[in-house]
Amino acid sequence: MNSTWSHHNPVRILAGRGCLDLLGQEITAGHWLLVTTAGATRRGLTQKILDLLPQVQISICDSITPNPELDYLDQLTADYRPQRIDGLIALGGGSVMDAAKVLSVTLLSELDKPLATSLREGKGQAWSKNLPVIAIPTTSGTGAEVTPFATVWDQNEHKKHSVTGDCVYPMLAVMDPELTLTLPHDETLYTGLDAISHALESLWNKNKTPVSEAWAWQALKLAIEALPVVLKEPENLDAREKMQQASHLAGLAISQTRTAIAHSISYPLTSHYGVPHGLACSFTLPALIEEYLGKKQNCTHQNLLLEAQVMLKNLKMDARLSNYLNAKELAALAKEMLNPERYANTSFECKVEEILKLSTLRAENV
């Protein structure tokens, strides 16, 4: 941990059971773009937002799919820029929130070329203005409602990119655990694993601060308690609320630290084989916990880490991973698992050879 550190997170939080009903107090006028999924529309959530905001002009974009694609986001930017949008409502999981966060800056940007072209050329953008985003998560995992970055994907080149900066932070996060009650089993599992990976990745991170560390330990504790319960009792609102809190706290932690080695390993699995992000970034966690504890003396919360390790092993993630790729295919991705930014954040010594060993070890178990 650095001896000198700073902290900044501007997102205002509205949380609690039924707090979505207060949305009309937050949005009273203007033209807002509701970014969501076709599934949310089928489940009646889109209509609920419309009912809560009868006085507001709302355009609906319910075509967001997992892992938002660069070219599609450029198309949405072109479609909605002439409509003079005043703000965005992101109703969904991480992909929806990331898409809305990207649109919040691209709709006001004066780029001389599409975002996809800039990112493919390796040119980052310094965003100077944005539209307000109200993020309403319906999953418990990404913490995207409080982070200053959005993940986007280039399926043509099988690469992951980030749109990042203070302008990417949402304005408000509305945390209503009742919205997570209908989340299917696998989505509950994979998003929950994502929250756990965020907590752990911010703990073994060179950028951690006393604040981010406190959030991460609490997030890990809550997730260990709640995830097994919600998987067995999906309508248990107490457990759902704990998982939402775990996801949120872990999101606050990575908003300060960013992620590390487990996420570095995960990206090619998602870009090449469509492995759900939560599974891709957590199947190495038991081995990484082992490495971390082996190299860190006098870990204050060693028992909590060991408890997390046991729970993760019991979830048999390798068997789930084998539904997407085999051992040979996994091993072939090893060179692509070295994302320099994510790898550089890892606080314990873990050389390239060790990363390859970890990925090969997991491959042997698939």
Distances (CA, A) of 265 to 202, 324, 349: 16, 15, 16
Is residue 109 within 8 Å of residue 117, measured between CB atoms? no
pTM value is 0.94
Confidence (pLDDT) at 299: 81
The first and second tokens of residue 280, run together, are: 């891709």
Please say if the pLDDT value at position 225 is more than 90: yes
Euclidean distance between the first and final Cα of the chain, in Å? 35
**What is the CA 44 to chain-centroid distance, rounded?**
24
Is residue 208 within 8 Å of residue 139, measured between CB atoms? no
Please say if the pLDDT value at position 365 is more than 50: no
Q: Where are the beta strands (DSSP E) in the chain?
A: 12-15, 31-35, 57-61, 87-92, 133-137, 149-154, 159-164, 172-175
More confident residue, 226 or 292: 226
242-259 residue pLDDT tens: 999 999 999 999 999 999
Buried b (16+ CB within 10 A) or exposed e, 239-263: bbbbbbbbbbbbbbbbbbbbbbbbb
169-209 residue pLDDT tens: 999 999 999 999 999 999 999 999 999 999 999 999 999 99
> How big is the chain by its Cα radius of gyration, in Å?
20
Please say if the pLDDT value at position 239 is more than 90: yes
More confident residue, 73 or 362: 73
Span 86-101, average pLDDT: 99
113-160 residue pLDDT tens: 889 998 998 877 778 899 999 999 999 999 999 999 999 999 888 899
Span 260-270, average pLDDT: 94
For residue 214, the tally of other CB atoms under 10 A from its CB is 14
Closest CA to 261 of 234, 231, 297, 295: 295
Say what percent of the chain tops pLDDT 90: 78
SS3 letters across 227-292: HHHHHHCCCCHHHHHHHHHHHHHHHHHHHHHCCCHHHHHHHHHHHHHCCCHHHHCCCCHHHHHHHH
Span 17-31, average pLDDT: 98
The first and second tokens of residue 100, run together, are: 């809305």
Say which amino acid occupies 334.
A
296-354 residue pLDDT tens: 877 888 999 999 999 999 998 888 999 999 888 988 888 898 888 898 999 987 754 56
Say what percent of the chain tops pLDDT 70: 96
Domains in the chain, ordered, with CATH? Answer: 12-178 (3.40.50.1970), 185-361 (1.20.1090.10)
Confidence (pLDDT) at 67: 94
Span 226-239, average pLDDT: 98
Confidence (pLDDT) at 357: 62
